[in-house]
Amino acid sequence: MPSRLTTREQVWQIRARVGMGLSTRSPVTGIRQVRIAIASDHAAVSLKAALAAWLREAGHDVLDLGPEGTASVDYPDYGFKLAAAIANGSADRGIALCGSGIGISIAANRNPACRCALVCEPLSASLARIHNDANTIAMGARLIGEEMAKACVEAFLSADFAGGRHQFRVDKLSTKVPA
């Protein structure tokens, strides 16, 4: 029986097997440069700022959808804004942050164009792209540190959708659920 994939090296092996299809790579991180929308609630403002700065340094076009400060805000408003940016083509990928990552991921997924996966480590971030064609990830600022968040973002941005047997399943996500 094969071992469970858990290490960063194994994530890289997955990516190598499915093919990268990379266009422009960042000279800093080596990952594909894309337009990224990022949004949070008040609990994740500092993580959002750190990730946005890191992504810009890596050469990505970052659309910061707020908020600016730590005054209490409602995560659904920012999840909806992020999903709209994905839906209207303002961004290729999204990063949604709140205290746990749960609420903002639910809000983002209300838009059918957004496939947001809650992740907490690089393997789930990579598999969200490879198997589920996720275009957005969510993370909990109260649950994940900055370095782990960066590792998740790197894994997410580096992976491509595998298609094949996964395509039929992903297509079902865009169909109406029978009542």
Choice among 60, 98, 116, 152 that is catalytic: 98
What is the three-class DSSP state of 138?
Answer: strand
Active site residue 98: yes
- Within 109-172, residue ranges assigned H as helices are 122-132, 146-158, 165-172
Sign of the four-CA dihedral 113, 74, 94, 125: negative
Query: Do residues 62 and 91 lie in contact, with contact meaning Cβ atoms separated by under 8 Å?
Result: no
Provide the H-helix boundaries in 3-44: 8-18
Which among 42, 120, 131, 166 is annotated as catalytic?
131
Q: Which of 82, 76, 65 is nearest to 137 (CA)?
A: 82
- Identify which of 31, 50, 41, 23 has the alpha carbon closest to the alpha carbon of residue 77: 41
The residues annotated as belonging to the active site are 98, 131
